[in-house]
Amino acid sequence: MKFNTQAIHAGYTIEPTTKSVAVPIYQTTSYAFDNTQHGADLFNLTVPGNIYTRIMNPTTDVLEQRVAALEGGVAALAVASGMAAITYAVQTLVQAGDNIIAASALYGGTYNLFAHTLPRQGIEVRFFDVKHPEQIAQLADEKTKLVFCESISNPAIKVADIPQIAQLAHQVGVPLIVDNTVPSPVLCRPLELGADIVIQSLTKYLGGHGNSLGGAIIDGGKFDWKAHSDRFPMLTTPDASYHGVNYSEHFGAAAFIARARVVPLRNTGAAISPMNVFLILQGIETVALRMQRHCENALAVAEFLQNHPQVAWVNYPGLANSPDKALIDRDFNGKASGLLSFGIKGGREAGAKFIDALKVFVRLVNIGDTRSLACHSATTTHRQLSSEELKTAGVSEDMVRLSVGIEDIDDLIADLAQALEAAK
């Protein structure tokens, strides 16, 4: 099946009891065992089946199969948010004393997790410049467990050269994890470009309507854990915390997702609610159609801003004169998603006036909604960061970030024009 067919059908065959066409919402915490032996077999992972909604649910299972299909992976795990997905992906491979290598241009929440929370738990995070991935070789040592980057970073909008970064990660013997939230699998499929594991914040384009949080980890199933068993004993030796299971032996290509489910998710519990899963599944059915409009509208907005006298700079990798346009053409189907940023002349003060004058663009800190959204990162998402950290994260004080929605483009341009006038 091709992408749009998968977006509507993957993971669900009409449920035989009720013949429900829409994916049913299994709003249940637990599932009855046929008898003691059945319960024991389920816990031993010797028969497939449901136990408890913290670790699996039939509605969630459809979502997991669907996002795995859309990203071209072998298995997926859905959790309560994008941040939970990132945390669990790291915790599946890493423990105190280890280190990871991450691009410094990151989503604000991820940056805080990596720069502040993980180090307090004994995990060192070594940052590299996503535009200089050759730094990975110098940063890596025998305690390095993974390389992490965003395909298109939010909010700095830097485009990663995924094939090159994947090759450098593999040279040091570790998998590449790519947060593919901004382009969504409609524009970019990192697993086909050499990445090993993909993260999606389902909250953004896949859900797409600004109504539910969710996150997913998708495994391409290609990284050979056994060939690197000294580095990844968690996946290649018996796990005492789970009946001595050896994940690579037992689950083969799906070992990573299996451990993510039965260790971090089971033991720390950021489970997604079946209702959110249902809403996200509704969003996924139309994601390719919406993405097309997001991209068209964002390009039109970028071109308008680029020619506006009050605008100092525009960062939209879909612009013909963007230094990232070649990467966008090669790896992103020529389209650059709905996220763009620009510098308003007059800095912080003009930025605040501009934001306050907007009438159609909504002032908030989200992306990937049908609605157009605007935010001033330095005073909101990134306000905990020092000026030095802002610089590393690629966030300047005059930067306004737009997530361009799917409204009529004339209304969006008119709104930006009047707000720029008000900011004079």
Contact footprint for ligand PLP (CB under 6 A): 81-83, 107, 109-110, 150, 154, 179, 181-182, 201, 203-204, 213, 215, 367
Q: How far apart are CA 255 and CA 216, in angstroms?
A: 16
Rg (CA), the chain: 22
Structure tokens at 201: 């914040």
Q: How far is the CB of 64 from ligand PLP (least distance, A)?
A: 16
Q: How far apart are CA 69 and CA 2, in angstroms?
A: 9
Q: How far apart are CA 242 and CA 236, in angstroms?
A: 13
Cβ proximity to ligand PLP: between 151 and 396 the closer is: 151
Q: Which residue is nearest to ligand PLP (CB)?
A: 82
Shortest CA distance to 324 belongs to which of 71, 128, 151?
151
What residues have CB less than 8 Å from 40, skipping those under 6 apart?
none
Structure tokens at 226: 């056994």
Cβ proximity to ligand PLP: between 42 and 125 the closer is: 125
SS3 content of the chain, % helix, strand, coil (to 5): 45, 15, 40
Q: How far is the CB of 204 from ligand PLP (least distance, A)?
A: 6
Q: How far is the CB of 202 from ligand PLP (least distance, A)?
A: 7
Cβ proximity to ligand PLP: between 11 and 108 the closer is: 108
Cβ proximity to ligand PLP: between 82 and 264 the closer is: 82
The one-character DSSP state at 52 is B
Q: How far is the CB of 143 from ligand PLP (least distance, A)?
A: 25
Cβ proximity to ligand PLP: between 198 and 350 the closer is: 198
Cβ proximity to ligand PLP: between 254 and 393 the closer is: 393
Cβ proximity to ligand PLP: between 122 and 269 the closer is: 269
Amino acid letter for position 296 = E
Peptide bond into 190 cis (omega under 30): no
Q: How far apart are CA 365 and CA 375, in angstroms?
A: 6
Shortest CA distance to 176 belongs to which of 156, 157, 191, 159?
191
Q: How far is the CB of 215 from ligand PLP (least distance, A)?
A: 5
Q: How far is the CB of 118 from ligand PLP (least distance, A)?
A: 15
Q: How far is the CB of 269 from ligand PLP (least distance, A)?
A: 15
Q: How far apart are CA 90 and CA 101, in angstroms?
A: 11
Q: How far is the CB of 7 from ligand PLP (least distance, A)?
A: 19
Cβ proximity to ligand PLP: between 348 and 371 the closer is: 371
Cβ proximity to ligand PLP: between 375 and 416 the closer is: 375
DSSP string, 283-303: HHHTHHHHHHHHHHHHHHHHH
Q: How far is the CB of 91 from ligand PLP (least distance, A)?
A: 15
DSSP string, 383-420: TTS-HHHHHHHT--TTEEEEE--SS-HHHHHHHHHHHH
Task: Tell me the three state secondary structure of residue 236.
Answer: helix
